[in-house]
Structure 1
Amino acid sequence: MVDYRIELVALPVSDVDRARAFYGDTLGWPVDHDHVVSDEVRFVQVTPPGSACSIAFGRGISEMAPGSLRALQVVVSSADEALADLRGRGVEASDIDEQPWGRFVYFSDPDGNSWAVQELPDYSAQAQQ
């Protein structure tokens, strides 16, 4: 069996510097790379803390329209802590959305690419029943 690991997701943005400031400075995600390859290509890569998957954006990286990626999700141990962290950094984030399959917080980057932040339910309590 071949292992298929998702390690990089391309994110469509309209302004590379603005996106780098949002993800790197505002969110505080480490900027792993920021390289100008040519006049047509600039590659910026950030990695959410604790994630094995990085996010790449830049010039010449994606053919998707800026702001069109609305499928990104990260998992955290506490939605309350994530919400406090996001709002403490000045990010406009939703209130916590309580669902049977988890507790969610939602936010978007300056282009409108949307993120879901999920706290998984405590399945161990269900297993004991």
Structure 2
Amino acid sequence: MKHISIVSIPVTDPQRAKDFYLKVGFELRVESAIGPNQTWIQLGIPGAKTSVTLVNWFPQMQAGSLRGLVIDVDDIEASVEAIKAKGVDVGPIEKMPWGKFAKIIDPDGNELSLHE
């Protein structure tokens, strides 16, 4: 094994979710129709190998059920301010013995954490 390639994020409306994740700081890597009313939307953090795809075609993956996706940042205060400036709500910065964290919840309720 080399690395994790793609993590699927279950959403109800991939276009709405795409707009949200672009505001958070992801970049669009691929957007392509894959079937009737289905679009493959793949996003990534600039410079990172791992990407995410916004899915609504797996019945067993309920929209909003993702937890534990952690995104490392160099400066959490600056990252939180930059994301808030784009109109995205970010939870308070919490200090833990293993670092600082701030929670972001997407429109479907999926939870991401920024980590410094």
**Length-normalised TM-score, structure 2:** 0.90
1:8 to 2:1 alignment: no
1:77 pairs, out of 49, 54, 74, with 74
Identify the residue that residue 124 of structure 1 maps to in structure 2. Answer: none
Deviations 1:74-103 (A, max 9, x none): 111111111111111111111110111001
1:91 to 2:64 alignment: no
Q: How many Å separate the matches in 1 of 2:31 and 2:48?
A: 19
Q: Which runs of 4+ in 1 moved over 4 A?
A: none
Aligned residues: 116
Deviation of the 1:115 alpha carbon = 0.5
Identify the residue that residue 100 of structure 2 maps to in structure 1. Answer: 103
Q: How many Å separate the matches in 2 of 1:87 and 1:78?
A: 14
SS at match of 1:37: strand
Q: How many Å separate the matches in 2 of 1:34 and 1:114?
A: 23
Q: How many Å separate the matches in 2 of 1:23 and 1:8?
A: 15
Q: How many Å separate the matches in 2 of 1:18 and 1:89?
A: 15
- Identity of matched residues, %: 29
Unaligned runs of 5+ in 2: none
Deviation of the 1:38 alpha carbon = 1.0
1:38 to 2:31 alignment: no
Unaligned runs of 5+ in 1: 120-129
* Residue identity opposite 1:114 in structure 2: E
**Length-normalised TM-score, structure 1:** 0.82
Q: How many Å separate the matches in 2 of 1:91 and 1:69?
A: 18
SS at match of 2:21: helix
Deviation of the 1:4 alpha carbon = 3.6
- Pick the structure with more strand per residue: 2
Identify the residue that residue 17 of structure 1 maps to in structure 2. Answer: 15
Which protein has the larger Cα radius of gyration, Structure 1 or Structure 2? Answer: 1
Q: How many Å separate the matches in 2 of 1:110 and 1:100?
A: 30
RMSD: 1.6
